[in-house]
Structure 1
Amino acid sequence: MTCTRWWCTAPTSCSSRAVGDRTAAFYDVDRLSATGPDTLVAPPTFLMAADHFDPDHARRPRPGSSWAGTQEPSPTQPVGFHTEQHFVFHRPVRTGDRLTVTRRPGGSWQKTGRRAGTMTFSETHLHFHDPTGRLVVETRWVQAAVERRPDPTSRAAAPGTDPSRTPRGTGTPPADVVAVGQHWTIPLIDEVTPATIAMYAGASGDFHPLHCDDVYARRRGYPGVFAHGMYTMGMSGRAVTDVVGHERVLAFGGRITGQVWPGDTLTARARVTDVYDDTRGTVADVAVTTTNGHGAAVFDGTATVRTA
């Protein structure tokens, strides 16, 4: 089954603020007046804001319908998590683009975990085309439905607030990515708050109650709400875009390896793993890992970028 919808890339400034992207062009009204918004390239994870343009999206509350947090959850109802997300860019996505979104299901499989029980994974593929029919971006996202609720007393479910946080890295990002072995550290946020989580929900259109409704989250065995996986990935993308900018990102993807809680500190570490020539020119592969204040990894991904 495929689904096609039209949408335009207008709210890039809201999305950039939600993931802490301080690129000056997103905030320079005078520049936009002089050059037009089509000069702006969207952050790598911006296309998740397509949820805003889907009137039937399941993660948005609707007037006249009961909000999920007011309903007593079934003990046997699996909880779904966004576990992986991958983007391949055939050209940059710019403000003002009008894109057709085509959705189709991918593969599905199961694994058994010690804490979560049976985990059922499923893929969804989205293709974004411009009005000429040219493919602009391919995305693949993976969701896992988890059989067991978490143990609220377990370390995995504990919020990340900790007054003795792991010291922040002080590595200085390079002026450009040119050599294998280059590495750098970028502080992403000193403290995640419920307000920053709500800000991302508003920018992305994803109002899943596990991220917005404390009662709902607690009834499902969590200490409270936690950040979207795509919030973590969006923040992590700055480890790349702060160095090479947005337009040179050819691909970005990875796994969401841990939950991010109010009180967490996030730091991204990047390392160039390969530099090579292909039909796109000279490109580099960059490994990106984001950790919380305890030093635990919450995102593990890779990006492919043009070196110049």
Structure 2
Amino acid sequence: MTGFDPRSHRMIAEQRWFEDFVLGERFPLPSRTMTSGIFAAFQAASGDHHPIHYDRDYCRAHGLPDMLAHGFQVAIQTAAGAGIFPHLVEQSLKAFLEQSSRFLAPVLLGDTVYPCLEVDELSPNRSTGVVGLRSTVHNQRGVLVMEGRHRYLIRKRPEAGDGAETRPAAG
């Protein structure tokens, strides 16, 4: 035995529970430049083959400076798994409840987007609570191109001696 415990192999040492979140807490996600490879991958995954998303000449003929990212291609930039949030709630996450998005400005090929999640709702229940996250995506010019919400059902901290499994902190 080497003394290694896989349960202690975590990206985030501290497990978080519903009570540990605070309104206004921010979770920036990695920025990403919308390359032709990302456009092609989204087209392949979604099956959306409208030329506005892959044909530059078509876009220019219709008054756009370049290919237009699909709204869902923009929305997926706010996937919580791209950041630390899911690592914080490995033991407490019960469900991803909902997601919504409003698209406010176009995202074009070559734009760099800056997604972020911010706690804007804490609705307690008896043994769980809902953590609502405002999702935003800005472009490289600082323009808010998308805003929306995610809502997650998160367990409250287990009472001592209730038999709930908790992972030891990495040390």
Q: Is the 8 A contact 1:187 1:267 kept in 2?
A: yes
2:29, 2:82 within 8 Å by CA — same for their partners in 1?
no
2: CA distance, partners of 1:224 / 1:207: 16
The alignment's C-alpha RMSD in Å is 2.6
Deviation at 1:179, TM superposition (A): 2.1
Residue type of the alignment partner of 1:237: A
Report the secondary structure of 2:140's partner residue. Answer: coil
Task: State the alpha-carbon separation in 2 of the partners of residues 218 and 184 from structure 1.
Answer: 36
2:66 to 195, 219, 224: 224
Q: CA deviation at 1:240?
A: 7.9
Of 22, 37, 41, 1:199 maps to 41
Question: Residue 286 of structure 1 corresponds to which residue in structure 2?
Answer: 133
Identical positions, percent: 24
8 Å Cα contact 2:51/2:58 also seen in 1: yes
Other-structure match for 2:117: 270
Task: Indicate the SS of the match to 1:290.
Answer: strand
1:212 equivalent in alignment to 2:59: no
1:184 aligned residue (17, 20, 27): 27
User: Please, what TM-score do these two structures have when normalized by structure 2?
Assistant: 0.68
Partner residue of 1:233?
A: 75
Taking the aligned partners of 1:179 and 1:259, their CA distance within structure 2 comes to 32
What are the equivalent positions in structure 2 for 1:117-196 lying under 5 Å apart? Answer: 176=16, 178-189=21-32, 191-196=33-38
Q: Secondary structure at the match of 1:215?
A: helix
Task: Tell me the CA shift for residue 280 of structure 1.
Answer: 8.5
Q: Matched residue pairs, number?
A: 134
TM-score by length of 1: 0.40
**Letter matched to residue 205 of structure 1:** G
Secondary structure class of the residue paired with 1:206: coil
What does the per-residue CA deviation read over 1:48-82, in whole Å, with 9 as the maximum and x for residues that have no partner? xxxxxxxxxxxxxxxxxxxxxxxxxxxxxxxxxxx
CA distance in 1, matches of 2:15, 2:110: 31
Alpha carbons of structure 1 residues 175 and 279: separation in structure 2 relative to 1, 3 Å: closer
Residues 261, 193 of structure 1: CA spacing in aligned structure 2 closer, same or farther, 3 A cutoff? same
Q: Which residue of 1 aligns with 2:6?
A: none
